[in-house]
Amino acid sequence: MFEIFYLMKESAVKKIAVLTSGGDSPGMNAALRAVVRTANYYNIECYGVREGYNGLIHDDFLKMGPRSVKNIINQGGTILKSARSVEFRTPEGRQKAYNNCVKHGVDALVCIGGDGTFTGAKIFNEEFGIRVIGVPGTIDNDIFGTDNTIGYDTALNTAMEAIDKVRDTATSHNRVFFVEVMGRDAGFIALNSGLATGALDILIPEKKDSMEDLFANFRKAEKTGKASSIVVVAEGEKLGSIYDLANQTKEEFPDYDIRVTILGHIQRGGSPSCADRVLASRLGYGAVVGLMEGKTNVMAGMRSNDLVYTPIEEAIKKHNEINKDLLLISEILAI
């Protein structure tokens, strides 16, 4: 049936290359594995390109088969390595990259990464007509066209487990902790990890915060007898740096024992969660199948448990909205 269908029909691609680019995220290896094994299953040749677009430019291609991706589904990071390529931003760089694709007879690219990665893929496709398909691999979940990005669920659990630990100390010492989680432009990690750890307040770029509101929450907490508190702050919070927030709070509440913790890069690593491994497997598969069906300049995503393809342009321009209910709920539950 489904499967037979592809085996019979003529695939639009014969030889593909896959790369991981931008910030790494847990599950990139699982996506890579899915791309390589799906290609193999449908008799499509597959190259891995090292260090993102730099590998295209410097001809760092390696032939990949089913065994070259064994035992990586559970590993964080990416065995192909990743990089942000300055040279690929130049026409000369992209020309070199294209020449190498031609040289290896690669007729399509699977680009695993985030915004920047997709922008590069889009331009590359428009300039040289080579087929490209994107797979959303980033912990920030700031890509449109998929409910979750690969690595997001793992990062949520990493942040949550770290905050759970901080909370042991906060409770034991009646302290106030300001915890910064990743998310330059998106508050998804902060909002969900904050809700999951019973944070007193959650400060994210998408909502207008004020010190007055924060202070009000502290006062409310005092009334209800809450002895310790955690405030989760997204990296990109507009109200100020986490140190500013902590200092202003200390001025308002001199008695508070206030500490700052920045979770930092631990959020990018680690063995992917089950949800991320499954998502990565489905999207890696979906990318190859999409190319076989002749799709290009699109991103493979999962929405409501269905495989969908979104024009890359849309995926970059539009953004998943923060769920307003979650803000209200986190406020109600942090009593």
Binding-site residue positions for ATP:
23, 84-85, 114-117
- Single-letter residue type at 110: V
* Ranges assigned E (strand) in the chain: 15-20, 45-49, 61-63, 108-113, 131-136, 176-181, 201-203, 229-234, 258-262, 298-303, 306-311
**Active-site annotation holds for 255:** no
- Tokens (6 digits) for 262: 């920045």
Say how many residues touch a second copy, by CB under 8 A. Answer: 88
Q: Rule CB under 8 A: say whether 149 interacts with a second copy.
A: no
Q: Which of 14, 63, 67, 238 binds a second copy (CB under 8 A)?
A: 67
- Single-letter residue type at 14: K
Q: Rule CB under 8 A: say whether 160 interacts with a second copy.
A: yes
Q: What x/- string results for residues 164 through 203 when contact with a second copy is judged by CB under 8 A?
A: xxxxxx-xxxx--x--------------xx-xxxx-----
From 86-94, 208-216, 257-265, 309-317, give the range in contact with a second copy by CB under 8 A.
257-265
CB-CB contact of 192 with 329 (8 Å): no
Q: Which is nearer to a second copy, 102 or 266 (CB)?
A: 266
From 118-126, 128-136, 158-166, 200-208, give the range in contact with a second copy by CB under 8 A.
158-166
- Tokens (6 digits) for 305: 């448990």
Looking at 24, 60, 107, 140, which residue is catalytic?
140
Q: Rule CB under 8 A: say whether 130 interacts with a second copy.
A: no
List the binding residues for ADP.
33-37, 167, 226-228
Q: How far is the CB of 15 from a second copy (least distance, A)?
A: 19
For the chain, state the CA radius of gyration: 22
- Which whole-number Å values give the CA distances from 168 to 87, 229, 294, in the listed order? 47, 11, 53
Residues 203-242 that bind a second copy (CB under 8 A): 224-226
Overall size of the chain counted in residues: 335
DSSP letter (8 states) at residue 150? B
Catalytic (active-site) positions: 140
